[in-house]
Structure formats: structure tokens, C-alpha cells
Amino acid sequence: MWYVTGGSYEDPAQCKGLRGTPEEYGPFTSYEDALRKWSEAAKRQIDDFHHRLVIVER
């Protein structure tokens, strides 16, 4: 299963100090489905330098 997870961080270079509520989407049955969700969610926060999302397999 694949998940999209992340949020806004105090230090985006090291992804330390998550601010607010973490985001998690999924599970997705394929990497391609997770990538579509990642792209959609990342575009909403494109101007927020502190916002990071990653795709992980669990």
C-alpha cells in the first residue's frame, strides 16, 4: 500500500518540527494513484516553502 504524508515544517531543509496537523492520504493500491494525489495536494500548497509531502510504501 502507498500513502502520501507530510505537512508544513519549521525547518523544511531537514523536515523537522511539523507545524499544525500532519497530512496523510491513502492507502493507494498503486504508486501511480499515490503520485496523482501527491501532485494534486502539492499544487494546493505550491507557494508554501515549508510544505512537504512524500510518497511512502507501508
What is the chain's mean pLDDT, rounded?
88
Q: Which residue has the higher pLDDT, 45 or 27?
A: 27
Q: Quote the pTM value.
A: 0.81
Mean pLDDT value of segment 22-47: 94
| Plot region of 53 (φ>0 → left; ψ -120 to 50 → alpha; else → beta) | beta
pLDDT mean over 24-42 = 97
Amino acid found at 10: E
pLDDT digits (tens, 9 = 90+) for 1-18: 999 999 888 876 766 777
